[in-house]
Every structure is written in C-alpha cells, then in structure tokens.
Amino acid sequence: MRFHLKARLKLSRPIDKAILSKEIDDFNHQLMERSEASIEEWDLKENILDLSIVSGTRRRAHDILLNFSNVLSRKLGKAYKVGIRGIDVYLYEIRFSLDREPLHDIVIPFADVQIEGKEVRMVLRDTSEEFLRKNYVDRMIRLVREKVESQYYEGKGEFWKLIWRSEEKDPVWNRDPTEEMLKRGWLVQGPTKGKWFYRPQAAAILRAMERIAIEEVLKPLGFQEVIESHIVPFDIWLKTGHLEGMPGEIYYVCEPRSRDVKEWERFIDLVKITREVPEDELRRNLSLPRAGICYAQCPVIYWSLKGRTLADEGLPLLLFDRSAISGRYESGGRHGIERVDEFHRIEPVYIGKPEQLIELRERLIERYKHVFNEILDLEWRMAWVTPWYLQQAGKTKIEEGYGEGVIGTIDFEAWLPYRGDRESSKWLEFQNLSILGDKYVKAFNIKAQKGELWSGCSGIGLERWMAVFLAQKGLDPENWPKGFRRYLDKLPEGIKIL
C-alpha cells in the first residue's frame, strides 16, 4: 500500500522558514526510524504551509499529517505563540493491491476509484480534517475490497449442508392453508401489505404454537422472559450491521417534530376539509426516522446489557422475548402467512461460556426435536446454512472454516406439500438456531467476570410453525396429532358473519 497526500496548513501568522525546516527535519527523522514514511516536499509562503507526505502500509499518510500538525502546533505554540488555524487536504491518493481482479467497475462515495488488473488507485479530493480523523479512509479501502470480493459471490448458491432429517410422514392434504383459512373466514388479509388479521380460530392456533414453545422448550431449559421495545433506534443497528445490511427491508419510524397542536393546525384543517392525507403538510411535521420497527429481537436484548459484566454464577444467561413484533418489508416475496411483512416470533437469546453454549445448543435441539416429532409430528430436517448475521449484515461470503459445527446457523426446514413433492419442492425455513461467537457481546461490550463470552439466538417463527403444521396436518382438529390436541383440542366458534 502506498499513501500520498498533499495538504495545506494555515498558521496563525507567518514564521521563519528556517524554524520550520528544523521542525520538519526533526519530525522526518523520528518518522523514518519507525516507518517508511516522510514529509517529502514542503513549501512555506507567509503563513501557508504546503506539504506532501508519502507513506507505506505501517502508517497512513493522513495519520502522519494529523500527528505532524499536533507536534507542530505544540512546538510553535510554546516557542513562538504560533498556532495552526486549519488543515485542508486537497489530494489524497491511495494505492493498494487486490487479491483478485474485479469483474466489473466499482464506485464508492468520496473517491474516484480506478482499477487496473489488481492495482487500485483511489483518489480523494478536498478532504476535511474531520474526515481523516474519523478514519473513513481505512473503511473506504475495506469497502473496495469487499465490493470486489462480493462480485465473486453474487449469484452463487447459498451454503447448505444437511445435518438430520426426520422420517417421511404422509400429509393429510396438499392444499395451501392460507387459502383455505381465508375461504373459511379464519383469516382476513391485513389492512396494509403483507399483514394478516387473525380471527379467533387462526389466533387460537398461533397462540397454541406459542404455548408449546414456552412450555416444551423454553421453560424446561430455564429461559426467563423479558419484554422489550419493538422500536429500534439506528445506533443499535449500526452495531449489529442491520443498517448497512437491510436498509431496504426496514419499516422506518418517524417521530412528530412537535406535539404542539398549533404546529399541526394546518394538517388538521386539511384533513377536515379534504378527507385525505395532506402529504406535504405531514412531511413538514415529521422528523426524519431515527429508528425502525423490530427486525429481530436479539439486538435489543444485547443493547439492554451493553457495557455490563455478567456474573459467572448466572451463566449461561437464558432470556427470551415474545412481545416485540417484527416488521420486514418483503416486497415481491410475500406469500400467505409464511412470508409476511409483520410476524410474531419468540426469540430466545443465550449468553455464556463457549462450552456452555455448545452444550445448550444440543439441549435446545433435543427439545425442538421433541416438539416437531412428538407434538407437531412434522416431516422436517436441519441444515447448516449461511449464518443469519452475515446475511443480515449484507454479506454474501461465507467465512473460512464455517460449517465445522461450532459457530453458525442451523435452519429447521419443513416440507410444504402444497408446493409439490418432497424431493423437488422448496421446503420452508420455519425456525433457526445460531451460535454467534463473540460478535454481539463484543459489539455491545458485554463481558464475563473472566474468560471468553459468546452468545447466540434462535428464532421461533410462530406463523411459520403454524404454516408448516397446517400444510401437513390440515385444518380439521380431528386429524391433528394427539400431542398438539393437548394444547388445542377445539377451535373457538369464531365470528358469525352474514
């Protein structure tokens, strides 16, 4: 890597060239002892110092510039009462090599990127001091590399490796349960896209799924319930990666600029007169969103523990939330109750020592097997898949060593007979289970008294459980397995509509 930067420093008043020359020599001398870098050229006119810095990989030229400016202002300040009034970086050229040639051109903000073969030339113009201080440059280099790498992974099949599969089960029918529930009036399309209104019969089934998950999986393993907010501020998603990974799927939340009725007077009047939503007036009264509706529940659970040290005696810490409802803007992908914009999920989160979590995963799988085999009596399977945290952070590349059975995500998938035969149709992911290493505990600075701390989570999608169960077992309680009928034997009467 080679960094070349041209900058202009403005001194508070002119200074003698000889003084400056000595300072630069001293600085260069120290610099060269420790790294292959130097202030190459410089020129002083009155109080304007132009200089050019060249450096290699060990230290970035901008870092050297900031350091030089500090040293200089300290020395000149003390001896001559001269300060530095501003730094402009009018050219910053960074050259580095890629592991492989890009497949097509790359564009990133703030810089021109030219690539020849594997050699990158990235040029920034008129860059502010703050920009350099915040180290955007390193992130820009990383972004270029990441964009090139992702060109190689785009369109490649997802990672998938079978772990286990149940025996085959004869489904009682092969119809789409959502369609059937709509016909019977158990379910009504929601008021906005990808949402549902569950009438009593459908609601009873969804709640039965919830009770099963709690009674058969979470309680026996000692999970404790928490209740979180389902409005998630961006700073949480900056830490988890969702903001860069999923910005097109977030349901954004705006606050009013003010709750003062006077501010809203015109809006109110317009509504009264037009009986429509006055969009311009609304826009005027809203703040830009700073939050979104829950996407997954675990980020807020981690946030609630940020900066904390967990007591060893309480590990592994086993929590679950079932109150936050998730919103995901699905656009084209919606279908039935299994692919929706709004869904109900229980999310257990576990934080503990690596060995505790590896053991917990086995116990969770055992309990899940009990539910899917003995209570719901499903035809289903488990597979290692691309970890959700990579997907949700917009990454397509699988990390080295992934799939060896320690850190990663297991998907639980079930056959939906209405989609076609078990061999060729796409099975539905109705649940997942992950161990995520120290990724999130680190991101939220959650610590153990001593030693390593890991975390993980499991998404129990209640609509998905329901979709899978009904697709295999039908809507008639008479055909439901005994285990499930212990939780729901008879459907509620429902609403009589003429």
**Enclosing H/E stretch for 326:** strand 325-327
Binding status of residue 318 toward Zn ion by CB under 5 A = no
Return the H-helix or E-strand segment holding 128: strand 119-128
* Catalytic-role residue among 88, 215, 330, 438: 330
457 binds ligand SER (CB under 6 A): yes
459 belongs to the binding site for ligand SER (CB under 6 A): yes
Point out the catalytic residue in the list 28, 60, 199, 298: 298
432 included as an active-site residue: yes
**Is residue 232 close enough to count as binding Zn ion by CB under 5 A?**
no
Please pick, from the candidates 137, 298, 446, 468, the single residue that binds ligand SER as defined by CB under 6 A.
298
Within the chain, how many helices (H) and strands (E) appear? 17, 22
Task: Determine phi and psi for 41, rounding to 5 degrees.
Answer: -135, 150
Quick check: is 129 catalytic? no
To the nearest 10°, the Cα dihedral for 470, 471, 474, 480? -60
488 belongs to the binding site for ligand SER (CB under 6 A): no
Among 347, 377, 379, 411, binds ligand SER (CB under 6 A): 347
The residue nearest ligand SER at its CB is: 459
Residue with tokens 């501010």: 263
Strands 408-414 and 428-435: antiparallel
- Does position 457 interact with Zn ion (CB under 5 A)? The reply is yes
Closest approach, Cβ 434 to Zn ion, in A, equals 7
Q: In the complex, what is the shortest distance from the CB of residue 348 to Zn ion, in angstroms, rounded to a whole number?
A: 9
Q: Does 210 bind ligand SER (CB under 6 A)?
A: no
Rounded CA separation 60/105 (Å):
25
- Out of 3, 92, 388, 412, the residue judged to bind ligand SER by CB under 6 A: 388
Spell out the residues 6+ positions from residue 154 whose beta carbon is closer than 8 angstroms to its own: 396
Is residue 321 a contact point for ligand SER (CB under 6 A)?
no
Q: Which of Zn ion, ligand SER, none does 432 bind, CB closer than 5 to 8 A by kind?
A: ligand SER
What's the one-letter identity of residue 352? G
The single residue of 347, 377, 413, 463 carrying the catalytic annotation is 347
Q: 5 or 457, CB closer to ligand SER?
A: 457
Structure tokens of 100?
């492989």
Q: Does the annotation count 411 as an active-site position?
A: yes
CA separation for the pair 483, 473 (Å, rounded): 13
Contact between 324 and ligand SER by CB under 6 A: the answer reads: no
Q: How far is the CB of 459 from ligand SER (least distance, A)?
A: 3
Whether 85 sits among the annotated catalytic residues: the reply is no
Question: Is 361 annotated in the active site?
Answer: no
The amino acid at residue 219 is K
Dig out the tokens for 453 from the structure.
């701390």
CB of 444 to Zn ion, least distance (A): 13
Q: Which is nearer to ligand SER, 55 or 297 (CB)?
A: 297
Tell me the residue ranges of DSSP E strands in 353-451. Answer: 380-385, 408-414, 428-435, 447-448
H or E segment to which residue 227 belongs? none
Q: How far is the CB of 29 from ligand SER (least distance, A)?
A: 54
339 catalytic, yes or no?
yes
| Site residue total, ligand SER (CB under 6 A) | 8
Tokens of 460: 């129990």
Of the candidates 212, 296, 364, 416, which one interacts with ligand SER according to CB under 6 A?
A: 296
Instruction: Give the 3-state secondary structure of 394-417.
Output: CCCCCCCCCCCCCCEEEEEEECCH
Q: Which is nearer to Zn ion, 244 or 269 (CB)?
A: 244
Binding mask 432-451 for ligand SER (x = CB under 6 A): x-------------------
Distance (Å, whole) CA 376 – CA 373: 6
Q: What is the DSSP letter of 306?
A: T
- Which one of the spans 40-48, 56-64, 265-273, 295-303 is the region binding Zn ion (CB under 5 A)? 295-303
Q: Is 43 exposed, middle or buried (0-12, 13-18, 19+ CB in 10 A)?
A: exposed
Q: 4-63: which residues touch Zn ion (CB under 5 A)?
A: none
Does the annotation mark 330 as catalytic? Answer: yes
Cβ of residue 347: shortest distance to ligand SER, in angstroms?
5
Instruction: Decide if residue 428 touches ligand SER (CB under 6 A).
Output: no
- Note the helical H segments in 167-222: 177-184, 200-212, 219-221
The tokens for 91 are 């050219």
Does 255 participate in catalysis according to the annotation? no
| Catalytic site includes residue 457 | yes
- Supply φ then ψ for residue 346, to 5 degrees: -100, 130
36 Cβ contact partners less than 8 Å away, ≥ 6 residues apart: 55, 56, 58
Q: Is 305 in the site for Zn ion (CB under 5 A)?
A: no
Other CB atoms within 10 Å distance of the CB of residue 36 = 13
| 294 included as an active-site residue | no
Q: With CB cut-offs between 5 and 8 Å by kind, which of ligand SER, Zn ion, none does residue 63 bind?
A: none
Residues that bind Zn ion (CB under 5 A): 296, 298, 457
Binding footprint of ligand SER on the chain (CB under 6 A): 296, 298, 345, 347, 388, 432, 457, 459
Known catalytic residues are 298, 328, 330, 339, 347, 411, 429, 432, 457, 464
